[in-house]
Amino acid sequence: MLIAHVLRDKGSAVYSLSADATLQDAARELHDKRVGALVVLDEAGAIVGVLSERDIVREVAARGAQGLGERVGAIMSRNVVTAAPEETVDEGLARMTDRRVRHLPVVSGGRLVGVVSIGDLVKMRIAEVEQAVEAMQAYIAAG
């Protein structure tokens, strides 16, 4: 199964913001869109970072409510790990595990085409295993 199949099933909506937005703005966007991370884009639409709920929690834990006034660019993850649509779900899961990230922006031809979460990939992997089990049961039952 490919990451492209995950995007096909979940949709390719990407929620983003600029590095100049405040953490308060980001928290509101995360809440409104019901997502765990936002892709941070520059004026040209290039990926410059990723901001997660955890990033915001760390800042608020360190600075209190004043941390919500901080700019996204100051705390976002800058070394963004991405995936390509033609990669397999297993490759994406391996990269997420290795790099300890929970969200992968998906890039094709230099353009952001979607975002997959570790939950999206695990869900797809479980579906693959269930299909294999059903096929095996049908094969055994057919004798």
CATH numbers and ranges of domains, the chain? 3-142 (3.10.580.10)
DSSP for residue 2: B
Q: Which residue stretches of the chain have pLDDT < 50?
A: none
CB 73 within 8 A of CB 49: yes
- pLDDT for res 128: 86
Q: State the Rg of the chain over Cα.
A: 18
Beta sheet of 47-52, edge-to-edge order = 16-17, 37-41, 47-52
Q: Look at residues 19, 22, 16 and name the one whose alpha carbon lies nearest to residue 65.
A: 22
DSSP for residue 88: B
- pLDDT for res 11: 86
- pLDDT for res 139: 86
